Amino acid sequence: MPCTIKNPANLDLSNLEPHVQGMYDYFDQKIGFNKPPTMIFDSDPGNQSNVLGKTAYYDPSTLEIHVYSDGRHPKDMLRSIAHELIHHRQNLEGRLDVGGYHGEGYYLENEELKKLEHEAMLEGNAFMREYEDTLKRKENKEMSLNEWKNNELNKLLMKKFGILNENKEITHMCALKVTHKKTGQKGHPIKHTLNESGQISHYTVEFKNVIVENIAVENLDIVVQEMHTHKRDDEKEHDKDKKIVKEEELEESEKPDFPDVDGDGDKSEPISKAQKEKKSDDDDGEKDMSKVPPQLRNHIKSKKNESKVNIKEVVRRVLENNKKIMEKLKDK
């Protein structure tokens, strides 16, 4: 239920009234008033001239919020209304009917009324800030959506009338060779992104082992560039089998393979780790020999050596035999 607004001060409320009703509705959702108050905008030039004059007050007997409006900023009046709306809730809950002193300076004399004032100051300001931020967020979302719709509509109209042609050839300065500033890796751009002003903002670059998409221009040193003409979305020739990675993965992907020290086929394994594993394997071999009686160790070692020689001899004989077979086939 909307609240009633009276304007004996004859203010122009065209901008303020929607916020008075909107803020009241927000407070009503948060608090749940069973009766709406009446908002009255008063004029009192004498009060206006008093630096410590009144800004607003709540009348619990009539459920009226009186706002002194002379020379005040609209937001300041909303702040006064927010404060008095909390007093309106306190009144509907029967909490304003407290005993004690109610005259001038009651804030210093009546602890119960002081607590009620604290509540109104705290919650009134807090709820008003929530209302304000909620409204601004909604307006920003609507604005962003409207801007997107307008941009899309403008693009469609420009395409329709031939002002914008995404397949149209463009002529501009474009990089041919670049160096990635952070890693020092060199590559050549295969594609770029243009901003609305027609300037290049990002490059997709083919490096030695990988392709990195959308690298910001400021992250690259341009080594070679030239003026050339091409269609807006053209791509230069490149190795399409190369892995596409993020920019932060570039340094890791460009690392060379390590020597296979321990012979396990893993070239990405650091040398230090491979050496430890090789030493461990050697140690294990020595430990196994330590269990063999001394008089048999030389015999076992000679057998191992013979085994290695025998394998080499077998391979040699197979190769020679294959060679003889190939020669016979040629003669035929």
Cα pseudo-dihedral 143, 144, 148, 149, rounded to 10 = -30
Task: Report the alpha-carbon distance of residue 25 to residue 135 in Å, rounded.
Answer: 12
Q: Which of 137, 159, 194 is the last residue of a domain?
A: 137
pLDDT at site 287 = 47
Phi-psi region of 105 (alpha: psi -120 to 50; beta: other; left: phi over 0): left
What is the pLDDT averaged over residues 154-168? 59
Whether residues 244 and 309 share a domain: the answer is no
Distance (Å, rounded) from C-alpha 250 to C-alpha 182?
10
- How large is the average pLDDT for residues 101-126? 88
Q: What is the pLDDT of residue 196?
A: 61
Look at residue 266 and tell me if it is in a domain.
no
Buried b / exposed e along 149-164 (16+ C-beta atoms within 10 A): eeeeeeeeeeeeeeee
Structural domain including 121 reads 4-98+107-137
Instruction: Tell me the mean pLDDT in the region 295-321.
Output: 64
Q: Could you read off the pLDDT of 194-208 as tens digits, one per residue?
A: 766 667 888 999 998
Question: Which residues, including other chains, have CB under 8 Å from residue 278's CB and lie 6 or more apart?
Answer: 261, 262, 263
Residue 85 counted as domain residue: yes
66, 185: one domain: no
Q: Do 246 and 317 belong together in one domain?
A: no
Question: Is 156 within a domain?
Answer: no
Q: Say if residue 29 is in the same domain as residue 127.
A: yes
Q: Are residues 249 and 275 in the same domain?
A: no
Cβ atoms 101, 110 nearer than 8 A: yes
Q: Tell me, yes or no, whether 293 and 207 share the same domain.
A: no
Question: How would you label 22-50 residue by residue, b for 16+ Cβ within 10 Å and e otherwise?
Answer: ebbebbbeeeebeeebebbbbeeeeeeee
Quote the pLDDT of residue 258.
54
Chain mean pLDDT for the chain? 79
Domain membership of residue 132 (yes or no) is yes
Q: What is the CATH number of the domain that holds 90?
A: 3.40.390
Quick one: residue 214, left, alpha or beta (phi over 0 = left, psi -120 to 50 = alpha)? left
Q: Examine the domain organization and report whether 228 and 292 are in the same domain.
A: no
Q: Give the number of C-alpha atoms closer than 13 A to the C-alpha of residue 258, restricted to the C-beta side.
A: 16
Domain for residue 160, yes or no? no
User: What length is written for the chain?
Assistant: 332
Question: Smallest Cα–Cα separation from 117: which of 151, 75, 79, 84?
Answer: 84
Q: Where are the alpha helices (DSSP H) in the chain?
A: 17-31, 45-48, 74-92, 106-109, 111-160, 250-253, 271-290, 294-331
Kindly state whether residue 142 falls inside one of the protein's structural domains.
Answer: no
Q: 132 with 237, same domain? A: no
Using DSSP, state whether 179 is helix, strand or coil: strand
> What pLDDT score was predicted for residue 282?
54
Distance from C-alpha of 127 to C-alpha of 131, rounded to nearest angstrom: 6
Same domain, 128 and 223: no
Q: Which residues pair with 200 in a beta bridge?
A: 194
- Say which residue, 132 or 145, is predicted with more confidence: 132
In-domain check, residue 155: no
Give the pLDDT confidence of 166-189 residue by residue, as tens digits. Answer: 555 667 788 899 999 988 899 999
pTM higher than 0.75, yes or no?
Answer: no
Distance (Å) of CA 66 to CA 78, 276, 289: 12, 86, 103
Q: What is the per-residue DSSP string for 64-116? A: EEEEE-TT--HHHHHHHHHHHHHHHHHHHTT-S---S--STTHHHH-HHHHHH
- Domain presence at residue 157: no
Sort 175 into a burial class: Cβ within 10 Å, 0-12 / 13-18 / 19+. Answer: buried
pLDDT in tens, 33-52: 999 999 999 999 998 889 88
Same domain, 280 and 242: no
- Same domain for 32 and 66, yes or no, is yes
Q: Is 198 left (phi over 0), alpha (psi -120 to 50) or beta?
A: left
* pLDDT for the residue numbered 10: 92
- Of 224, 253, 282, which residue constitutes the final position of a domain? 253
Q: Are residues 113 and 15 in the same domain?
A: yes
Of 106 and 280, which is predicted with more confidence? 106
197/116: higher pLDDT: 116
Per-residue pLDDT at 226: 83
State percent of the chain over pLDDT 90.
Answer: 36
**Which of residues 222, 253, 284 is at a domain's end?**
253
Overall domain count for the chain: 3
